[in-house]
Amino acid sequence: MMKTSGSFTLLLLLGFVSANETSESKPPSPPDLYAALRDLTASLVQLKADVATERDQLRAEVDQLNQQQQVQQVAFSASLLAESRGSTLGPLPTAMTLIFKNVQTNIGNAYSSTTGLFTAPVKGAYHFDWTTGAYGDHSHGSGAWLLKNSQKVFMAFEDQKDGFMTTSKGVTLLLEAGDVVSVLLLASGLAFDDYNHHTTFSGHLVFPM
């Protein structure tokens, strides 16, 4: 009986050792390559999406900066007549907005040669100059108001009996976007222009605000 029990114990010990040796000698299972590839693909897709988003944001910022720069570039200069033949406007029964047809510069397209109106594209400080000229006729001078919307700001005026006369003035105005500036010929005033461009209207944005 003792011999049988000892043999059984020996067999159990041998089996335990054999099992341990088998488990220790078993090579580790290879990594899941498909799972690794899936993770790598997902990371690449996310990276591509992030790059595309950053690129779109950068483009939007560049476009916005370009638009702001274009808006900040505002300047125009025009004379009354487009043709070279001399002509006198006035006197008239009522004051009239002068429409300066001969546009030399119109950066930003804020001045309209159809209406004679300058429309501020952005809020800012703007500077304007206007000049009128005419031949004296013993009874009428040459002059015009600068208007902000419908408000008279400054008037340039000159009167003499004969010979050629000119008058001019300049002003800097704080304008809101959409404000309108124009030149209003006096009802009793004269304005002459020819190829020498005596009667003019100019303006530019000094700085936005």
Tell me the per-residue pLDDT of 6-17, one tens digit each, with 9 for 90 and over.
555 544 445 544
pLDDT in tens, 85-129: 888 888 889 999 999 999 999 999 999 999 999 999 999 999 999
* Predicted pLDDT at 2: 45
Query: What is the distance between the alpha carbons of residues 4 and 142, in angstroms, rounded to a whole number?
Result: 140
Q: Chain-wide mean pLDDT for the chain?
A: 85
Rg (CA), the chain: 43
The pTM of the full predicted model, rounded to 2 decimals, is 0.67
Q: What pLDDT score was predicted for residue 95?
A: 95
Residue 78: its H or E element? strand 75-79
- Please identify every stretch of the chain with a pLDDT value under 70, giving residue numbers as ranges: 1-31, 63-71
CA 134, chain centre distance (Å): 40
Go through 92-121 and write b for each residue having 16 or more CB atoms within 10 A of its CB, e for each that does not.
Answer: eeebbebbbebbeebebebbbeeebbbbbb
Tokens, residue 144? 């015009």
The DSSP element (H or E) to which 118 belongs, if any, is strand 118-119
Residue 25: per-residue pLDDT:
55
